[in-house]
A and B are shown apart, each in its own frame.
Chain A
C-alpha cells in the first residue's frame, strides 16, 4: 500500500489551507461565482441538483483500510451515510455543503485522501488496472507509474487551465481492465523485443458527444521518459487545443483534425527540444515509489487449493461466487476477490458507510491492506489467500456485497443520472434496476454470460455507454425519458464504439428490449461465443429485428 511521505502530507495541508481561504472569500463575497467556480471544481466540488457533490480522488483506484474507513466516516458525519464509486475509480458524496467542504478535506487529509483536480479543466485522476500488482499477465506494476503521473500532474503550474478536462489511464497487461483506449492519453506498459520496459502511447480517445478510440502515436516509449513525453503532449494540447467551442475542446478533436501522424510529429519535436532531465524521474525516485507500495509477503499454503476446491464442491452458492467474482492471482495460493456493488435493486456503485467498513475490515484482516476500485463501479480485494476466500465470501454475503454477477448482465455501469446530476436528460439508476431485476435469477444471468451493459443519463457519457456490449443513452423525447441503444462497444483491448440499434425506446420498454437482445443472443450464438462475439459476427441486423419485433411504427 502506497505511503505518502512528509512532502505529500504538506501538499495536502497547503492545498486545504488555500481552499479554505478561497471558500471564505466566496462566502464573504470577495470572490464572485465566476472567479470561484474553477477553483471549486479543481477541489472536486460540483453544485448538483440537490446539493454540492464532492468527488474524492482515489489515485489509480487504490485504497488502504484506514482510507476506506475515513470515507465511511465522512459519509456518516457530513453526508447521508453512503458514497458512490465512479467510472474513474473515484468516490462521490452527493449531499455535502460548501461550508463543510474545508473540514471534510482536512479529515480526508489525515489519511492521505483529497479531492485535488477531480474536476475542472486540468489533469484528472489517473486510473488503472484494479488487478495491478496481483495479475499474472502484467509487465510491471502499473501503480508505480500512476503514482509518478499523479505527482507530476498535481498542481502542474503550466497545465492548470487547459482547454478542457484531461484523463489519463494506464494498464500493464494485454488484457485492458482500465479502458485506456477511451482516454485522452492511454498508456500500455509492456516489454519490447529486447526486454526493455516501455509505454505504447495512445492519444485522443474519449467518449461524450464525439466518441473516439485513441490512436497510437508511439509504439514504444522507454519508461524512464514517461513524464517528459507527457509534458510534450500536454504542452501542445494547452497551446493548440480549441478554446472557442466547449464541445470541440478535448484533445481528441485536435488529434482528429491534425491527423495522428502530424500530431505525433509535433509531440516528438517538442519532446526532442525539451530539457528532459529536469522532468523525468531519476531512478532513485522510481525506486522509492516502488518501495513505498510495499511488498506483499506471500505465504505458500500447499493445502489451500484442495480445501478451496472441496468448499466449492460442497456449496453451490460459494462455487457460483468463485466462478464469477474470483479471479486467478499470480501466486497460486492467492486469489483476486471482487466485491460487487451491484446488488439487484440497489444503486450501482453505491456503498453504505457500514458496507465500506466491512470491506475495510476484510482488506485489513485478510487482504494485506489492499483495496481497489474498478471503473465498473465495483471494489476488489486483490490479495486474498485462497484459504480465506470462504470467510471473505461469508462476510461479504452478510452485507449484500457478494452478488455473484461480475461482468454479467446485472453488473451494470450506470451514472447517477437525472436523480442526482444537473447535466442529465434522463434517469439511469431506475433503468439499471429494472434490467438487473430481469437477470436476478443467477442461473439465467450465468446462462447469458458476459454481458457488459452501460447506461448514461446524457451525452456526456459518464456511464461509458459507448463502450457497452449493450450501451444505453437516456434522452428527452417529447418530455419523456427515452433510451437509445447501441451494440457491440467495448472498453477492453478490443476497444470499439457501439453501433446504434434503432429508434429510442421508452423507459418502460428498456428492460424488455434488453431481454430480447439477450434471448436473441442465446438463440444465435455459436459455441464459446460471448454476447459481444455474436454481435460482432452477425452484426446489428438480427438484434435490431429482435428488439423491435412488435414495435409500433410511431
Chain B
C-alpha cells in the first residue's frame, strides 16, 4: 500500500550538495529525510528554510511515496538527485550503498504514477 508524503530538499550553499531536512538539521541521505503528512507542516518548514540564506540554496518541497515501508521521491528527477547520476554509480550519495540505497534504486517503477504529464521534473 502506498501513501504520498512530502519531504524538504535544497542544495547546500557552500558545497552544492543535495540535502534533505531531517528530524534535526539537514542530511545528505534521503533515507534520513523527515516525511511530512500534513502539507501545512511541510509549508512551515519550507518557509523556515527560505530564511536560511547563507546555508541553503533553493529549498523546495518534493512528493514522496512510501511503498512497503520504503520511501522514495515520486519524481524521477528527484530520485536522481537523491542517488547520483544513473551512468556513474561510483558518484553521488549512491556510493554509500546499503539496503536504503538499493531500495531507492529499485523503487523507480513503484514510484511512477501512470497517465499524468510532466512527472519527471515534478517536485
User: Contacting B120 at CB < 8 Å: which of A27, A29, A418?
Assistant: A418
A446 interface residue per 8 A CB criterion:
no
A219 interface residue per 8 A CB criterion:
no
Task: Give Cα A453–Cα B117 distance, bound, in whole angstroms.
Answer: 27
Contacting residues, chain B, for A97 (C-beta < 8 A):
14-16
Q: Which of B98-123 contact A (CB under 8 A)?
A: 112-122
Task: Give Cα A424–Cα B50 distance, bound, in whole angstroms.
Answer: 24
Contacting residues, chain B, for A419 (C-beta < 8 A):
80, 85-88
Main secondary structure of the interface of A (DSSP, over half): mixed
Q: Which of B4-20 contact A (CB under 8 A)?
A: 11, 13-18
A437 interface residue per 8 A CB criterion:
no
Contact A49 B77, CB 8 Å, known A27-B54, A99-B14, A478-B114: yes
A32 interface residue per 8 A CB criterion:
yes
Contacting residues, chain B, for A425 (C-beta < 8 A):
120-121
Contacting residues, chain B, for A424 (C-beta < 8 A):
77
Which of chain A's residues has its CB closest to B11's CB?
Answer: A47
Contacting residues, chain B, for A95 (C-beta < 8 A):
91
Contact A29 B54, CB 8 Å, known A427-B86, A433-B87: yes
Contacting residues, chain B, for A433 (C-beta < 8 A):
87
Contacting residues, chain B, for A427 (C-beta < 8 A):
86-87
Q: How many residues of B contact A (CB 8 A)?
A: 33
Task: Give Cα A48–Cα B84 distance, bound, in whole angstroms.
Answer: 12
The digit string for B51-95, where 1 denotes a CB below 8 A from any CB of A, is 001100110000000000000000011001100111110011000
Task: Give Cα A480–Cα B87 distance, bound, in whole angstroms.
Answer: 17
Contacting residues, chain A, for B17 (C-beta < 8 A):
50-51
Contact A50 B92, CB 8 Å, known A96-B16, A433-B87, A478-B114: yes
Contacting residues, chain B, for A50 (C-beta < 8 A):
16-18, 81, 84-85, 91-92
- CB-based contact B58/A479 at 8 Å: no
- CB-based contact A51/B15 at 8 Å: yes
Contact A477 B87, CB 8 Å, known A29-B53, A51-B15: no
Contacting residues, chain B, for A29 (C-beta < 8 A):
53-54
CB distance from B52 to the nearest CB of A (A): 10
Q: Which of A414-443 contact B (CB under 8 A)?
A: 418-420, 424-427, 429-430, 433
Contacting residues, chain A, for B81 (C-beta < 8 A):
49-50
Contacting residues, chain B, for A481 (C-beta < 8 A):
76, 120
The digit string for B17-47, where 1 denotes a CB below 8 A from any CB of A, is 1100000000000000000000000000000
Contacting residues, chain B, for A314 (C-beta < 8 A):
none
Task: Give Cα A477–Cα B118 distance, bound, in whole angstroms.
Answer: 7
- CB-based contact A32/B84 at 8 Å: no
Report which residue of B15, B16, B113 has the largest number of chain A beta carbons within 10 angstroms of its beta carbon. Answer: B16
Task: Give Cα A98–Cα B119 distance, bound, in whole angstroms.
Answer: 30
Task: Give Cα A98–Cα B117 distance, bound, in whole angstroms.
Answer: 34
Task: Give Cα A294–Cα B16 distance, bound, in whole angstroms.
Answer: 41
User: Contacting A480 at CB < 8 Å: which of B13, B85, B112?
Assistant: B112
Task: Give Cα A339–Cα B79 distance, bound, in whole angstroms.
Answer: 35
Contact A52 B16, CB 8 Å, known A47-B58, A95-B91, A419-B87: yes
A28 interface residue per 8 A CB criterion:
yes
Chosen A-B contacts, 13 in total, with CB atoms closer than 8 Å, are: A48-B16, A49-B18, A50-B17, A50-B84, A51-B17, A96-B16, A98-B13, A418-B76, A418-B120, A426-B120, A478-B115, A478-B116, A479-B112
Closest 8 CB pairs of A and B: A479-B119, A52-B16, A419-B85, A51-B16, A476-B120, A99-B14, A29-B54, A97-B15
